[in-house]
Chains A and B, each alone.
Chain A
Amino acid sequence: MPRGLDMVCTLTSGVLFGFGLAWSTMIRPESVLAFLTLQDLGLLLVLGSAVGVNLLVFQLLPRWRARSLLGNDFEQRPFALSRQSIFGGVLFGLGWGLCGVCPGPALAGVGAGLVAARFDLAWALLSILVGALLHGLWAGRSS
């Protein structure tokens, strides 16, 4: 289990992320679909500003410090492009284009829906969980 301060920082990061997703209207599937059909380019600004902040942080911070503030190593993304991962991207795109939800907004959207007892995005969240389960069972069989 992450210890005290680590847990507080991780939770706070998630809260900022979820709050930002709600503020940017990305938890509303219609907003995302309006971007995907090029009626409102807002998502580009969301992605652009989020990437912009982190481009600076990811590129500069490891030059100044060997470790994070709490003493962990800076992670590298363990990703290797393959034909399979491209196929995964296509499947993800099909689902994203159909319902306008992706994993982050599904989480934040479920939280936001609790207040008005609206559970639309809970269906997406549960289905993403089942999809990830099916992937794990399938990947485990073929390896």
Chain B
Amino acid sequence: MLESYFPHGMAPYLIGGLLIGAGVALLYVTTGRLGGASTFFSAAWSYLLQTSFFRQAALREGRNWRTIYALGMMLGGLLYAVAGLPLIETQLPVWKFIVGGLLIGFGARLGGGCTSGHGICGMASLSGGSFLMVCTFLGTAMATAMLVARLGV
């Protein structure tokens, strides 16, 4: 029964999730920070742009640690690949990453967070608002992915 829900087993997901959780926990325990990923994408622009939005303290004050954290995430992926652990390359067409990425960047910032900010930090903080946001983006993403699969694009 379980095998039909987890055709690739449960171990990689549980181990990976615990590692992700350990990363977010280490950040909180040592620095008190909430390790969502998406704010970095706005904060990075505050180095370049002088508009009132990108000058706001919330982006400028956190931009250095968020950049280090983002570089750490890239480095984590790099170390995994360097270690020769299993990786399967994607077959998705580039246009999906471009169109999807624009929606993700705009939407995650308008929505105040993504899968790590609302999904991990928000839910672990028992935030009702974050829980509703997770239901919103997860529900929309499921409907979208099913429609795309049905249409075969």
Residues of chain A at the chain B interface (Cβ within 8 Å): 1-2, 5-7, 9-30, 33, 36-43, 45-55, 57-59, 61, 67-70, 72-81, 84-104, 106-116, 118, 120-121, 123-140, 143
Contacting A131 at CB < 8 Å: which of B44, B109, B123, B139?
A: B109
> Contact residue range for chain B?
35 or more
With a CB–CB cut-off of 8 A, which chain B residues contact A96?
Answer: 100, 104, 115, 137, 140-141, 144
B15 CB contact (under 8 Å) in A2, A24, A52, A94: A24
The B129-147 residues at the A interface (CB cut-off 8 A) are 129-130, 132-133, 136-147
Q: Which 5 A-B pairs have the closest CB atoms?
A: A14-B72, A131-B105, A24-B16, A18-B76, A127-B101
By a CB distance below 8 angstroms, the chain B residues around A102 are: 37, 104, 108, 114-116
| Closest residue on chain A to residue B117 by CB atoms | A77
Give complex CA distance A58, B32 in Å: 10
Contact A23 B77 (CB under 8 A): no
Residues of B participating in the A interface, judged by any CB pair closer than 8 Å: 5-8, 10, 12-35, 37-38, 40-42, 44-45, 49, 51-54, 58, 64-65, 68-82, 85, 87-92, 94, 96-130, 132-133, 136-149
The answer for the CA separation of A19 and B76 in the assembled complex, in Å, is 4
Q: Which chain B residues lie closer than 8 Å to A97 at the CB level?
A: 140-145, 147-148
Task: Name the A residues within 8 Å of B121 (CB-CB).
Answer: 54, 58, 77
* Minimal beta-carbon separation of B1 from chain A (angstroms): 12
Residues of chain B lying within 8 A (CB to CB) of residue A28: 87-88, 90
Closest chain A residue to B146, Cβ basis: A37
Given A22-B81, A29-B90, A79-B122, are A11 and B71 also a contact pair (CB < 8 Å)?
A: yes
Min CB–CB distance A141 → chain B (angstroms): 9
In chain A, what residue has the closest Cβ to B144? A97
Q: Whole-angstrom distance from the CB of B5 to the nearest CB of chain A?
A: 5
Given contacts A36-B142, A94-B140, contact A6 B65 (CB under 8 A): yes
Chosen A-B contacts, 6 in total, with CB atoms closer than 8 Å, are: A58-B125, A87-B110, A109-B77, A111-B80, A124-B97, A132-B41
Q: When the two chains form their complex, are residues A79 and B123 in contact, meaning their CB atoms are under 8 A apart?
A: no
Contact A42 B12 (CB under 8 A): yes
Please tell me if the beta carbons of B78 and A16 are within 8 angstroms of each other in the complex.
no
A53 touches B22 (CB 8 A): yes
